[in-house]
Amino acid sequence: MKLQRILLLLGTSITIASLGISGCTTNTRDFEADAQTPTVTSPTTTAQRRPDVPYVPTPQPVVDAMLQLAQVNSNDVIYDLGSGDGRIPITAAQRYGARGVGIDINPERVQEANANLQKSGVGNRIEFRQQDLFQTDLSNASVVTLYLLPDVNLKLRPKLLQELRPGTRIVSHAFDMGEWKPQQVQQVNGSTIYLWVVPENVPQNLRQ
Ligand SMILES: C[S@@+](CC[C@H](N)C(=O)[O-])C[C@H]1O[C@@H](n2cnc3c(N)ncnc32)[C@H](O)[C@@H]1O
């Protein structure tokens, strides 16, 4: 089951039990690991706190549609904020020759993404960092992908609009950005995906 359905069932309270019942690919053990404060440290660690969102991967057909919606190409630098097993930036490099950065706060996810990257054949184009997405400098991105939660998208919105260059595309799986209306919305295999393009002049009401 997707994050969205979990939310509908339980409001904004996502419990370990809900993920277990839902049959999503994250089992209870994984989520417990996600929910704990990470204990592994590395030179790139900038955060040691609980993830804001549990790990639920985007199905591959939805990944493909997100990259198409953003019109990713070989000039792009794609940032996946909360990158999980790394499938979005890895696919962007394999299909479109893009470069990319995956950010995940959970060291297990970064390890998994790096293992997938090793097998992918695009290891020279992608980098995974164990970081808090709220502490990450986004200014190099030309495309940003998200599969977070509604309140996390809203909290992130001012940072996106402040740090990203005008023309940067943002694609979100399942969740919108409140008052910031998307330029396009698509349905893919029962999922909704949203596209925004960062404007030259950001309206005052979207800055907070
Ligand atoms: C729903 S999963 C999406 C994974 C991947 N983007 C995809 O679509 O397949 C959300 C991911 O965000 C990560 N995450 C949660 N809070 C985070 C934070 N503050 N900074 C970085 N990553 C975070 C989780 O560890 C998890 O891997």
With contact defined as beta carbons under 8 Å apart, do 83 and 109 qualify?
yes
Q: Nearest C-alpha to atom 11 of ligand 1 is from which residue?
A: 82
Helix axis angle for 28-35 and 107-120, nearest 10°, is 120
Q: DSSP letters along 110-173, please?
A: HHHHHHHHHHHT-TTTEEEEE--GGGS--TT-SEEEE---HHHHHHHHHHHHHHSPTT-EEEEE
Q: What is the average per-residue pLDDT within 116-140?
A: 98
What's the confidence (pLDDT) of residue 207?
84
> How far apart are the CA of 80 and the centre of ligand 1, in A?
9
- What's the pLDDT band for 28 if we cut at 50, 70, 90? very low
Joined together, the tokens standing for residue 54 give 């549990």
Residue-range domain boundaries for the chain: 2-37, 60-206
**Core vs surface per residue 184-198: b (16+ CB within 10 A) or e:** eebebeebbbbbbeb
Q: Is the pLDDT of residue 34 over 50?
A: no
Is 79 close to ligand 1, i.e. is its CB under 6 Å away?
A: no
Q: Nearest C-alpha to atom 19 of ligand 1 is from which residue?
A: 132
* Fold category of 60-206 in CATH: Rossmann fold (3.40.50)
> How far apart are the CA of 208 and the centre of ligand 1, in A?
22
> How far apart are the CA of 148 and the centre of ligand 1, in A?
6
pLDDT per residue over 92-112, tens digit each?
Answer: 999 999 999 999 999 999 999
> How far apart are the CA of 75 and the centre of ligand 1, in A?
25
Is 128 close to ligand 1, i.e. is its CB under 6 Å away?
A: no
pLDDT per residue over 62-77, tens digit each?
Answer: 999 999 999 999 999 9
- What's the pLDDT band for 4 if we cut at 50, 70, 90? low
